[in-house]
Structures are given as C-alpha cells and as structure tokens.
Amino acid sequence: MRLEQRLEHVSNALGVPGQFFATPTAIMAQYRLPGKRRPYADMVRARPGGVDLGRLADLERLGRRVCDRRLDLGDAVDVLRALEQQTQPALWRNLLPAVLISAAAARFLGGGLAEIVVAALAGAFIAALEDRAARRGSRDRLVPPVAAAVSAFGVAACAGFLPTLNPTLALVASLIVLVPGLEFTLAVKEISTENLVSGSARLTSAIGDFLLLAFGVALGTRVATVALGPATAAAVVQLPEWTLWAALAVAAIGFAMRFRAHRSDIGWVALACFVSWVGAQAGGRVLGPDLGVLIAALGVGLAANARARWSGTSSMVMMIPGLILLVPGSFGLRAIDLMLHDDVVSALGTVFSMLIVATTLSTGLLLANLLLPSERSSER
C-alpha cells in the first residue's frame, strides 16, 4: 500500500478525513478538522534517507492498530516518538553488512578470492564514510563521489601487487552498496503506475547518484593511471559452484543488517533472497538474462504479499531484499566503465539493458500485486 493510502486510512479511522500527496522529498496534506468548515492544508519537507525495514514494519503495525481502533491516538504518538529517538548503531554494525554485501556481490559477478577480498575492504571504507556522514546528521552528497574515487584508486593500487585481480569487477562489487539500482527500479514502477511526480523525482535522484559515482570513478581511475600506470584486467580465478550458495547466505545476512530488519524477520529476508536467486536462474534459462528477472520479481512479489496478508506487516520487509539481488545497478557501473574506456556503443547497449531489466522488474511486481494483493479487500 502506498503511503498516501495508509495516511488516508489512518485519518479516516481518527475521524479526520483527508487527502494526501507524497513525494520522496515532501508530504502534502489537506483534511477537515472536527467543527471546522474550511479544510486545513499543510506540507512537510522530508529528507530522503536509507532503508530501515525494522522501523517500516513497526510503522505498518502501528497504522493497522490505529485503523482497527486497538490503540488510541495518545499511545500512538508515544510510539512514534519512541521510533524517532532510535540511536545511531555502532560503527561495526555499519561496517560488517557492507563487507558481507560487497564480498557476496563480487562472487555473484563472477569474481574469485582476490576480487572478494578487495571488494570487501573497499566496501568497509565506504561504510565508514557513510557512518561518519550519518553521525553528522546529514546525507552528505559528497560521500558517493569521494567513496568512488578513493575505491577506484585503491582497487587500481591493489591490482599492482595482485596479478590475479580483475580491478573492474572488484570496483563494481565494492560500489554496489552505493548504486541506486533499487531507486531506479522503483522510479520506473511508479512512472508505469502513473505516479508521475514521485516517479520522476526518484528517477532524477537515481540519475544524479549515477553521475556522482561516474565522476568519482573517473577521477580515481585517472589519478591511479597517472600515479601507478594503467591497470590490466587479469583472468579471474574461478571458484567452485557451491560458493554461489554461500554468497547468497552471506548476502542475506548483510541485507538484514544493513536494512536493520528485526531479528524475527531475518528468516524472511533470507527466504526472499532465495526466491529471488532461484527465480532469476530459472527465468534466465527460459527468457534470457534480461527478461528472466520477470519470474524472480513475480516470485518475490507473491511471497512478500502473501506474508503481508498473513502477518499484517509490510510487504517491503521481503520485497526490498529480494529486489536488491535483481536491480540493474551493476549495469550502470559497467556502462560508466565502458564510457571511461571510450566504448560508447557498448555503454549505450548496457544502459538499454538496464532499462529493460528495470521495466521487467516493475512488471513482475505489478503482476504480483494483481494476482495477490498485500491486503485483503476488507482492509483496503
């Protein structure tokens, strides 16, 4: 359920009918207060932030309890204030998931042990930068380009004494935590459902993030080339097939930690990752790698909606981790790398593939919502 619909349900349950309009950076509301003839209008500016599955699940349960009149308004406000006062987690709780996700991404992209280790180290550095920005109380826009530049230089330096390292693969894996692939996919989904303002805002934000990463990668690569000489792409030392399943388990733990899922939801996060991976593999054999993610997105959407109907929590708890494995963020980074190597034709082809994958994912989610909505008709 979209944010506007949930707000309408809550306002109706409180006897204050209203209309709401939400974008990634603002929420506008108009509602009628009891005893007042004229409607009251307000707008709240919102700062885009990271994904917090635990808080999202708590807010979904809170909204349902208010709508079902199992919680009065005063107690609901107290719960909201308690959620707002959640403290910043310790540094290691930000470093560890970034290490796990970057290492798993290196394996998913076909990397060997050298790529996994280098990507994990670079991912830890990126997480440290993000943690510092978060403790300053801001979503620092300099984090993506600075992290990309330092990572590009560091990976190129590692390639000098690791002859088996493929620097491009390691760099893409290390930056995967910064790539706005999910934002890009959600933007395409919102535009396809005629939520044009919100979708356009998300799309613009995703493009801006890609450009910042492109600048950082270009700067770091150029400095490394001047200082250390051009890096050569070595042949990857292949790992056994079973390591892909190990990487899937590592990625599930990393997603649960990075997105701050409740401990009780870790198993559901792992199930979403499993459905996503198996669906992508099966769909790839039938429809090809670009269109095959339709089966995976459909499976993740159905599983997430089924759990939401059964438990009364948000479908996003399963949907976001499942989609992260499918989003086309790595295509964007590969397109950047191709552009830096003056291979414009291949870069444009990669960008087109990214658009196809994002559209396919959004179509799979729309089909899942059509076949099995996340809420029963009596609740909508």
365 vs 192: which has the higher pLDDT? 365
Instruction: State pTM to two decimals.
Output: 0.88
Find the largest Cα–Cα distance for the chain. Answer: 76
Which residue has 């960008």 as its token pair? Answer: 351
Contact by Cβ (8 Å): 277, 248: yes
Cα 166 vs. chain centroid, distance in angstroms? 25
Alpha-carbon gap, residue 221 to 156, rounded angstroms? 7
Mean pLDDT lowest for which of 55-59, 245-249, 267-271?
55-59
Give the pLDDT confidence of 111-154 residue by residue, as tens digits: 999 999 999 999 999 999 988 887 776 556 788 899 999 999 99
Edge to edge, what strands does the sheet with 40-45 contain? 18-23, 26-31, 40-45
Res 306: pLDDT? 94
Res 330: pLDDT? 66
Res 380: pLDDT? 53
By the 10 Å C-beta count (0-12 exposed, 13-18 middle, 19+ buried), 229 is classed as exposed
The set of residues, in sequence order, having a beta carbon less than 8 Å from that of 172 and lying 6+ positions away, is 105, 109, 330, 333, 334, 337
Q: Is the pLDDT of residue 172 over 80?
A: yes
Number of residues that this document lists for the chain: 380
Alpha-carbon gap, residue 3 to 26, rounded angstroms? 12
Q: Is the pLDDT of residue 377 over 70?
A: no
Contact by Cβ (8 Å): 380, 373: yes
Mean of per-residue pLDDT scores for the chain: 86
Alpha-carbon gap, residue 138 to 108, rounded angstroms? 32
Give the pLDDT confidence of 185-216 residue by residue, as tens digits: 888 888 877 788 888 888 888 888 888 898 99
Give the pLDDT confidence of 252-299 residue by residue, as tens digits: 999 999 999 999 999 999 999 999 999 999 998 888 877 889 999 999
Looking at residue 213, its amino acid is L
Q: What is the mean pLDDT of residues 57-67?
A: 86
Res 145: pLDDT? 92
Res 182: pLDDT? 81
pLDDT > 90 fraction of the chain, expressed in percent and rounded:
33
Alpha-carbon gap, residue 304 to 56, rounded angstroms? 14
Q: What is the mean pLDDT of residues 220-244?
A: 86
**Residue ranges of domains in the chain:** 3-84, 95-255, 261-380
Q: Is the pLDDT of residue 226 over 80?
A: yes
Res 275: pLDDT? 95
